[in-house]
Structure 1
């Protein structure tokens, strides 16, 4: 067991730290950020583009796609430094982390240049149209249809919970192209410009976001999409979907670990029971770091361990949910105060006594859903990890 990094990795870290020290935007700019991940201010576009041009946006990518061919371990320390400073390397996380990554994995060269590079350079924003009113956890039950008509697909249907759709330039959309095939076999993925005629986006509020909206309903009524916008093979979209969700889940545990660390700094145990809950938070945080480090080491050896990623996702999201619930309980009435303003890096910079625990608690449930619900993750753990029958 090696608990330290090799010299080349630490050299990589030092180079990135020096880059951040010299070029990180001042807080006077970052404070302009709204709660919506998709509401991208101009300074954030400049910051993302600057990272792309210097190979620090997604360092595992080749240079022409905003990286420097970094190893898995180097990518890990890159994420570690961003987390340590609470820095967002992009304010269009779905576009950079899922859409552009999926296009680079499954797209044609023309699609990479037309869509992926502009998304990575913050010239376009993108969102993912997956969930539907009747197809959430069971995503393969989706009913949005794309019917072939000459050189186009004609799309009809509805999506919901589509983060950032109201500000996106393009939606990576899951559609059913063969209604007679088994449900996992008849799905395709198409890139749909949001200005397409017949496409309507309706943002809606949540309990935590009443003013700065992020979630959307998206309606498609006879939307014509050129067939050149098909991403991956026709009726082979389920592989693209799994790749997209894989991009989302791979380092998700680091976000949970960072949030748990911040929670531990703000938690104020008073009674013996509070201290017991605080100890559980610290142990969960340490366990997540150790299991995550082991998973990263396995990935560096070329191992693909879907079950371990699922374990990390379940452990991290539920530890955060439980910790915020305990903190809310320990804080009593004061913890219910809801902040009227938040910091640039909300919600996890909020001071305990000025409240914020209610928002943290309500937001924590999103972690058990995003990237594949924890119920589905338990199925993966059972069938892939433990070899149990379906």
Structure 2
């Protein structure tokens, strides 16, 4: 097994490192933190546009959409270098990784120009309207309705857990347009500007961060949306949904590997049980990187393996959660207290900068839900890897 990269990939890496050395904002310039996952401070908008204009925002994209047609291996080292410096290339992650990517895959040329390019250039931000009070992991159970009325759809219903919606300019919204169609059919996708009459956004805190307003309830009351805002085909929104989550999961395992490494580095084993758990986590981290490298090599050869991504998502998210749980246990009651830190502020250390182990543990549950729950991943593995019957 070759665990190094060819010269063209390393040349690509060196070019990106040089770009970062020249253009990365410093702490003095980056004086404002984002308040949600769809709020991008002005300094961060400038940083995102610089990346876009130089082809470093999403290198796998064509140049007109912030990239340079990079190979999957080049995309990997790009993310690796961002990870080494703990750098965010955007503070609107769902806008770039899911919504703009979905528009480039399923949208019209006008939608790509009007919406995707502007999201990528940080001229506007976007949020994802999928989950509902009765349709979280089971997206096909959504009940938000859109009824065709002339050249508009009239939307009524509710979304929840819509991260950053109160700061977003547009929502990529999944609605039911055929109420009598089978469960996975009759779904359509609409781009709904948040200033459209009838759209109400209500942010609410999470249990692990009471002062952090990112989650939202979103209500639609007779919201009129032009038919040209349909993404993909009417009643064929399930394909967009699966494509959206696919964009999110392609190299997701790398972020889990980084987070697991951070947790292991901060873990302070005391008892023999702690040391045994610590050793298991180190092995999990090594296994995750080796399996991820294997999947990366297969994709570089043009081989797609959805089941492998499910294995990586499951292993990565649950290993992070287990590491946080064991570290919290080792800390005992001290794990409930915010650590005292004298580390200087930087624009990138927003996650776990001064969080208690309890908060880090609670936050880990997001990883086992977002991008496809652990239960869904186990079902995929059971059917596609183990060959077990569906029922």
Band of TM-score, shorter chain: over 0.9
TM-superposed deviation, 1:238: 0.3
- Residue 63 in 1 paired to residue 67 in 2? no
Give a deviation string over 1:175-197, Cα, whole Å, max 9, x none. Answer: 00111110111101010000010
Distance in 2, matches of 1:327 and 1:181, equals 48
CA contact (8 A) 2:38 2:167 kept: yes
CA 124–340 in structure 1, closer or farther in 2 if over 3 Å, else same:
farther
- Residue 346 in 1 paired to residue 350 in 2? yes
Secondary structure at 2:388's aligned position in 1? coil
TM-superposed deviation, 1:31: 5.8
Q: Aligned residue for 2:359? A: 359
TM-superposed deviation, 1:340: 9.1
- Residue 134 in 1 paired to residue 138 in 2? no
Superposed, 1:178-189 pairs within 5 Å as 178-189=178-189
Distance in 1, matches of 2:51 and 2:385, equals 37
TM-score by length of 1: 0.96
Secondary structure at 2:188's aligned position in 1? strand
Secondary structure at 2:112's aligned position in 1? helix
TM-superposed deviation, 1:21: 1.2
- In structure 1, the gaps of 5 or more residues are none
CA contact (8 A) 2:34 2:91 kept: no
TM-superposed deviation, 1:371: 0.5
CA contact (8 A) 2:199 2:221 kept: yes
Distance in 2, matches of 1:274 and 1:381, equals 30
Q: Aligned residue for 1:270? A: 270
CA contact (8 A) 1:52 1:66 kept: yes
Secondary structure at 2:211's aligned position in 1? coil
CA contact (8 A) 2:203 2:216 kept: yes
CA contact (8 A) 1:134 1:141 kept: yes
Give a deviation string over 1:296-322, Cα, whole Å, max 9, x none. Answer: 111111111111101111101100111
Give a deviation string over 1:71-120, Cα, whole Å, max 9, x none. Answer: 00000111111111110000000001100000000001000000000000
Q: Aligned residue for 1:170? A: 170
Distance in 2, matches of 1:81 and 1:3, equals 16
Q: Aligned residue for 1:300? A: 300
TM-superposed deviation, 1:68: 0.4
Q: Aligned residue for 1:317? A: 317
Give a deviation string over 1:30-85, Cα, whole Å, max 9, x none. Answer: 46324632221111111011100000000000000000000000001111111111
Distance in 1, matches of 2:63 and 2:172, equals 24
Superposed, 1:150-169 pairs within 5 Å as 150-169=150-169
Distance in 2, matches of 1:277 and 1:172, equals 42
CA contact (8 A) 2:206 2:212 kept: no
Q: Aligned residue for 2:95? A: 95
Q: Aligned residue for 2:146? A: 146
Q: Aligned residue for 2:112? A: 112
CA 365–166 in structure 1, closer or farther in 2 if over 3 Å, else same:
same
Secondary structure at 1:295's aligned position in 2? helix
Q: Aligned residue for 1:372? A: 372
Give a deviation string over 1:246-297, Cα, whole Å, max 9, x none. Answer: 0111111111100011112211122222211111121111111111111111
CA contact (8 A) 1:347 1:360 kept: no
CA RMSD of aligned residues (A): 1.5
CA 29–288 in structure 1, closer or farther in 2 if over 3 Å, else same:
farther
TM-score by length of 2: 0.96
CA contact (8 A) 2:178 2:235 kept: yes
Secondary structure at 2:155's aligned position in 1? strand
CA 167–200 in structure 1, closer or farther in 2 if over 3 Å, else same:
same
Q: Aligned residue for 1:86? A: 86
Distance in 2, matches of 1:102 and 1:163, equals 17
Distance in 2, matches of 1:212 and 1:321, equals 21
TM-superposed deviation, 1:333: 1.7
Distance in 2, matches of 1:225 and 1:147, equals 10
Larger mean Cα displacement after TM superposition, 29-38 or 364-373? 29-38
